[in-house]
Structure 1
Amino acid sequence: MSDTARLRKIVHVDMDAFYASVEQRDNPDLRGKPIAVGGAAARGVVAAASYEARKFGVHSAMPSVTAARKCPDLIFVKPRFEVYRAVSQQIREIFAEYTPLIEPLSLDEAYLDVTENLKDMPIATEIALEIRAKIKAATGLNASAGISYNKFLAKMASDLNKPNGQAVITPKNGPGFVERLAVKKFHGVGPATAEKMHRLGIETGADLKAQSLQFLSEHFGKSGPYFYGIARGIDERQVQPDRVRKSVGAEDTFMQDIDDLASATSELKPLTEKVWSYCETKGFSGKTVTVKIKYSDFTQATRSRTTALPFANSNDILEAAAGLLATVYPFKRPVRLLGVTLSALTNEDIAANTDQKQLGFDL
């Protein structure tokens, strides 16, 4: 491990059950009760669950019908993303009092590099305590924090004393902590990767550490060196305040499956408008549009098109998306979900492209 990595002070702040906590804050009748933010309909999905609901096994990304079965008294609350974004902005302003090196991961969590900070505070744990107290005072919400010498361990530490707590993993303790940890609990190791590791006899951080760099690269490609490092408590990724967004997307699950092209195509319009609205707000566009089609049996297909120039408006994105959707019609099964994603993002002058024909090819 390099001296630079060892000396860094990274704080990972993670709001506790963020969406659900905002709803309980704003509606006293929901406090102390199991709630799920999301749709209660048969096709709904849980976006967030309160800690009262989590005791029953309810968690984010779970189908609403499953959540209701696990917790019969579960209360479903419609999401209010404009409120969550406003609260998130309050929290970011608190972060900015301490450091300009802030890397948001989502509305409710971020990495902060406080190695050198605006308050000249030498102890990162005290910074984390202050930030959490200010978040509570400003928003009424609880935050947890992890403090360590790299991003991976700071992220892992923030889960150790949830909710409303914090934990530190020191350079001395980092490698041993990783060795004892089950690989399925590693941040960045999803279910499929964990299963692959298990098939290779890798169950813990110690098992991962026992593998050579060559072995990990052969089996996990570009992720091999990353796994080799974190197995030893090493992660030299920097906190990136200007992290470039790679794509913008929107998707919708339908109340009833769709089996005709006209109905499916009409569902693309609100998705492309949502994507373009975000792009306009941020001042960029993209050159690649991708359509995701999920069928009634949960199998899915994607189709992409890349253009020579950035898309100039939502109608152009809709036209491209509709053309891509038509390539999979007749549908092999009824469609339950459609998604539209814009990638190859750029801040080129898109106004100059409005009257120019989009030249493209399918990938």
Structure 2
Amino acid sequence: MGFNVSAANTGSHSNYTTEDMDSLFHIYVLVPVTILCISLFLLGITGNLLTIIVFKRYRDMRSTVNMYLSSMAVSDILIFLGLPSDLYRIWKYKPYAFGNFVCKFLVYLSESCTYCTILHITMVSIERYIAICFPLKAKIIITKRRVKIVIILLWIFALLTASPILFLFGVEHPPGFQPEETKECKYTEQSAQNGLLHVMTWVSTIYFFLPMFFLTFLYGLICRKLWQTRHWARGPATANRGKYNKATVKMLAVVVVCFMLCWLPFHIGRILFALAGVGEYVFFEVTQYFNLLSMVLFYLSASINPMLYNIMSEKYRSAMRRMLYPKQGLQSGRTRSYRFSLEGTELSSGM
């Protein structure tokens, strides 16, 4: 998962022998972390697949907001491709058994999907801002065709901006040891010496904090608009629109906050790494447990969104019941259908 598994944030390991490197952690740490990660894997894959199917299967769920959320679900599923490699590395740090291509590809994939998720969260929040603050313009600007183009562009931009990772990481071994015994999937010594690693560390950190500050400001504007409009809302249609907009904003805000909390330790670790330098034994010891926590939170962030949708969206729960329990959900779906018939910018078309 990017820079923060095992020795990704470290330099010289001269204080450790080859025998010491079977694992960087005690067994009483490894077992619960492994069980937790496997549970997150099962929840994440299942929940995100069901989310994609639900949004695709039911016409009333095919909204522009849900198009972004479906794409985010794809990104979260791809993130879990790196879990087997990460678990292997915390159990047996050396030698890395999957080869140079897998090392580069998995780090690149996790970085790309992370960037992609940040971009999706930002764009769907901008869409909600336009829909709530400028509803008439939103009906013209926000179309499914344009959203599809935006999603494709977001993926391309994320893949391109993460591409330097391919030149930063690889399978290497420390000088003076047998290559087959000490192969590591880590940043290359050349990237550390020429400063490219530190540059990419700061770029990735800015990639996280800058959107988070922007989203905080954006949701402040949205909340102010909703507070102002609640006084002059008239009629059932306007009242429903306001209700659905508030529910959508609340759900998206929770998604943003959870994403921020899950990723904050990881980026704090990157900042500490960039400031403190590498090769220090004590720093190495501290960062490994910090990195282990970051790894767990990383996979939590990839599995939590379907649970948030289920908790906060009645329409999502209804659609999920219809899919999992067709007979039971048929009558329930009919009785609720009139509540979600509005099109355009309301929550009924969003979630």
Write 1 or 2 for the structure with the bigger share of helix.
2
Higher relative contact order (CA 8 A, sep 6+): 2
Q: What TM-score does the superposition give when structure 2 sets the normalisation length?
A: 0.26
Q: Which has the higher strand share?
A: 1
